[in-house]
Amino acid sequence: MSKTISITSIATISPLGNNPETIWNNYLINQHCFVQKAFNNQRAYAAVLDFDGKEEVENIKRDDAKYKSLDSSVLYAMAASRKAVTHAGWTINDVFGVNIGSSRGATELFEKHHKEFLETGKAQTLASPTTTLGNISSWVAHDLQCQGPDISHSITCSTALHALLNGVAWLRAGMANKFLVGGSEAPLTSFTIAQMQALKIYATLNVSNQEQWPCRAFDLEKKQSSLILGEGAAVCCLEIGKSPNALAYIEGVGYATEILEHNISISTEAICFQKSMKMALKNTDVSDVDVIVMHAPGTIAGDKTEFKAIQKIFGTDLPLLTTNKWKIGHTFGASGMLNVEMAIMMMQHQQFIGVPFAQDQKIRKAIKKVLINAVGFGGNAVSVLLSI
């Protein structure tokens, strides 16, 4: 059985847009996607889908009466998945697996149903089936008429890359030839924002030096955390072997779990990231890595500890470092696959997309290998090495 895994398609729906040309053009513009929204009578930053993305979701709801009752996290996944399988040339006759996860699952619907229960003492008939985490992959499989296994899971912010790991495992085990993997998140609710604010990690409005760049992801000198939430979904099509129409190849995967001292802690040198990066790079010289797309959530501890882990692995001769969270915020379970999208686009266009307020980095060579990182509460780190 071949160990080579091809990424034959990737599709997303996010604040950057819902087609590759728009997304790339938005990456070239030094402008973030954040707006101020009212959450429970308080305003906060958030990154929301653009008009075209919202219209695409509304069109899906019109396709089938059953879809009207689904949570946005499911609809986002369906929108991205339809495009991904079409671009990959998969049909309903193909047997492929689906593994799309989410950190929070049906956030909007769960909070809506719970609020109604507190007010009336009764739950609606569809409250349970439409808020179960597993309905993301099962509804996607239904929509695509998929004949393979469908799996959902939640491993907080590293969920999408854990889906990729699972797809790789199924393919290399010979249990499938194709797998659709990714993550979806619709976390822009009052309660979810309040949770992040309670942790003292959410960006504050009108703070000095944050007005132009509210999320200071990969600003290692910032004095306070500046995480901002975004919404969206990202999936990719994996195929066993070296496909002639591959966008990129998965050269290595790594994973590790932190030994926690606190519910949200990560060690000062991010031991979990050191282990996951070492595993992903076990067959690769570190000097061959051209770019790292960091997790870098915009928190003080999160950004600094990941940077220290990178220094431990790569020494003083670091690859180019970047993140997209200064632009689209933290999409929780979808964020890792949005990092993969950014990595593939940089390799396709041979152009590095840096962080506008970070220290300048000298571009030395072509972009042929990119390492992607993700980690979440619980210290579940994943690293994936891609090449073209």
Q: What is the mean pLDDT of residues 208-221?
A: 83
Please report the pLDDT score of residue 55 as a whole number.
96
Whether the CB-CB separation of 181 and 238 falls below 8 Å is answered with yes
SS (H, E, C) 14-48: ECCECCHHHHHHHHHCCCCCEEEEEECCEEEEEEC
> What domains are there in the chain, each with its CATH number?
5-240 (3.40.47.10), 250-387 (3.40.47.10)
Residue 118 has pLDDT above 60, yes or no: yes
User: Per-residue confidence at 266, pLDDT binned at 50, 70, 90?
Assistant: low
Mean pLDDT of 357-379: 88
Burial class of residue 233 (count of CB atoms within 10 Å of its CB; 0-12, 13-18, 19+): buried
Q: Which pLDDT belongs to residue 334?
A: 98
The pLDDT of residue 275 is above 70: yes
pLDDT at 258: 81
Q: Collapsing DSSP states into helix, strand and coil, what is residue 350? A: coil
Q: Burial level of 348, CB count in 10 A (0-12/13-18/19+)?
A: middle
Q: So what's the pLDDT on residue 378?
A: 72
Q: What is the pLDDT of residues 156-195, one digit of tens each?
A: 999 999 999 999 999 999 999 999 999 999 999 999 999 9
Determine phi and psi for 156, rounding to 5 degrees. Answer: 45, -130
Q: What one-letter code names the amino acid at 345?
A: M
Residue range 3-25: mean pLDDT, rounded: 96
pLDDT for res 41: 85
Cα–Cα distance between 155 and 102 in angstroms, integer? Answer: 8
Q: For residue 121, give both structure tokens.
A: 């003492």
Asked if residues 326 and 29 have their Cβ atoms less than 8 Å apart, the reply is no
Average pLDDT score over residue span 40-63: 94
Between 81 and 211, the more confident residue is 81
Percentage of residues of the chain with pLDDT beyond 70: 96
Please state, as a whole number, how many other Cβ atoms lie within 10 Å of the Cβ of residue 169: 14
Question: If pLDDT is split at 50, 70 and 90, which confidence band does 222 have?
Answer: very high
In this structure, the strands spanning 291-293 and 369-374 are parallel
Is residue 357 within 8 A of residue 219, CB to CB? The reply is: yes
Average pLDDT along the chain = 93
Per-residue pLDDT at 171 = 97
- Radius of gyration of the chain from Cα atoms? 20
Mean pLDDT of 141-164: 94
Q: In what order do the strands lie in the sheet with 248-257?
A: 150-151, 97-101, 178-185, 232-240, 5-13, 248-257, 380-387, 369-374, 291-293, 320-322
| Amino acid in position 253 | V
Q: What pLDDT is stored for residue 68 in this prediction?
A: 94
Average pLDDT over residues 31-54: 94
pLDDT of 210 above 70: no
> Looking at the predicted structure, is the pLDDT value of residue 2 above 70?
no
